[in-house]
Amino acid sequence: MRATADPPPVDASPAHHDAPPHGGRYASIVDAIGHTPLVAIPRMSPNPDVVLLAKLEFLNPTGSVKDRVARALIEDLEASGRLRPDSIIIEPTSGNTGIALAMIARRKGYRVAVVLPDNVTQERRQLLGLFGAEIIDSPGALGSNGAVAMAKELVARDERFVMPYQYGNPANPRIHEETTAEEIIADCPEVDVFVAGLGTGGTLMGVGRRLKRYRSDIRVYAAEPLPGDAVQGLRSLDEGFIPEIFDPEVLDGRLLVSNAESIAALRDLTEQEGIFAGVSSGGAVVAAQQVAARMDRGTIVVLLADGGWKYLSEDVWTRDLDADAAAIERVSLW
């Protein structure tokens, strides 16, 4: 949804704050995870009285919100004593969690294998290889559900495999309660609505619970792909697999978005706001726009889960969406 009115000057927005003087000093790249900025995107709002702010999670070290989760999952394995000298950390993923796990595991000296749908973008495969992960392909037609099933089978057959299992591990939503939500509250105490993509459910559950404890009238919405869209990272609950960590009571609504809408929005983000985000980020923005159009006034924080670098090979910024719709649907973009 393109905004037609000229945006207000940034200084006139309640979202404008003085920037911190520096980015901090950390003992390692793992310690630098989080601390991502909140940026006003006024040209994306369909309502001049609704402020849209984007949480730029692609500024994490490996380029996605999953850095937070991967760190929490590995630290949970360490604390539980499940890792032995011959252990191999295995996880079903559409790419981002696997990349983050591989980076952190290499830094800590662990082996990682990822079960990955065979239709993810080449950039994701390349990054996994650079960080030393073993890639085990699952059928792309079965999506992330197929990757989950295959990973569980491998764990049952080989005791070396240890699966942190982001879909059912409380460490996933907990890290978002402790970090992502606290950053939003600190940077945007006036937040009225939070919107994020529905993947494992960890971001929405963790941030949503903390925001509702902060102020009970804050609303939380999930951006969900249309049933049947061949996409990963975000999932339709109607496809049959509901992550164990998912609690529908945290949500105030689920908003359906299509691949085409998501790609159009990510193009708008680049052209109008100078933000180079991934496809699921476009989907989250579409959902935030749907909410903003129904509000009289207020402030929405929308989480942009990853950046555009991992999608360049699919040329989603310039290709003809109508002519190439079938080809785009076959690729795992989210």
5, part of any domain: no
Does 131 share its domain with 192? no
Q: Tell me how many degrees the CA angle 52-222-35 measures, rounded to the nearest 5.
A: 55
254, part of any domain: yes
200, part of any domain: yes
Does 15 share its domain with 89? no
**Dihedral sign of CA atoms 212, 254, 328, 2 in order:** negative
Domain boundary among 143, 162, 181: 162
1, part of any domain: no
Q: What confidence score (pLDDT) does residue 312 get?
A: 86
Q: What confidence score (pLDDT) does residue 229 get?
A: 57
DSSP 24-85: ---SSTTTT-----EEE-GGG-SSTTEEEEEEEGGGSTTSBTHHHHHHHHHHHHHHHT---T
Q: What confidence score (pLDDT) does residue 296 get?
A: 97
3, part of any domain: no
Owning domain of residue 179: 10-64+170-330
Note the pTM of the prediction, 2 decimals.
0.88
2, part of any domain: no
Does 253 share its domain with 288? yes
Token pair belonging to 192:
């009225």
82, part of any domain: yes
Do 117 and 135 form a contact (C-beta atoms < 8 A)?
A: no
Distance, CA of 267 to CA of 320 (rounded, Å): 12
Does 155 share its domain with 202? no
Does 207 share its domain with 281? yes
Do 88 and 160 form a contact (C-beta atoms < 8 A)?
A: yes
What are the φ/ψ torsions at residue 12 (nearest 5 degrees)? -85, -10
Q: pLDDT tens, position by position, for the chain (334 residues)?
A: 444 445 444 443 444 455 566 788 999 999 999 999 999 999 999 999 999 999 999 999 999 999 999 999 999 999 999 999 999 999 998 889 999 999 999 999 999 999 998 888 888 899 999 999 999 999 988 877 888 899 999 999 999 999 999 999 999 999 999 999 999 999 999 999 999 999 889 999 999 999 999 999 999 999 998 876 544 445 556 556 788 999 999 999 999 998 889 999 999 999 999 999 998 999 999 999 999 999 999 999 999 999 999 888 877 888 776 655 555 554 544 4
Distance, CA of 266 to CA of 319 (rounded, Å): 13
4, part of any domain: no
Catalytic, 280? Answer: yes
Catalytic residue among 45, 55, 64, 66: 66
Domain boundary among 141, 162, 183: 162
Could you give the number of structural domains in the chain?
2
Does 205 share its domain with 311? yes
For the chain, how are helix, strand and coil distributed in percent, rounded to 5? 45, 20, 40
Does 129 share its domain with 245? no
Distance, CA of 33 to CA of 45 (rounded, Å): 29
The CATH number of residue 31's host domain is 3.40.50.1100
Count of CB atoms situated within 10 Å of the CB of 56: 19
Catalytic residue among 280, 281, 310, 332: 280
Catalytic, 66? Answer: yes
Contacts of 22 (CB under 8 A, 6+ apart): none
Does 192 share its domain with 326? yes
Does 250 share its domain with 312? yes
Does 150 share its domain with 289? no
Token pair belonging to 155:
């764990």
Domain boundary among 145, 162, 179: 162
Does 193 share its domain with 280? yes
Q: What confidence score (pLDDT) does residue 316 get?
A: 82
Does 244 share its domain with 325? yes
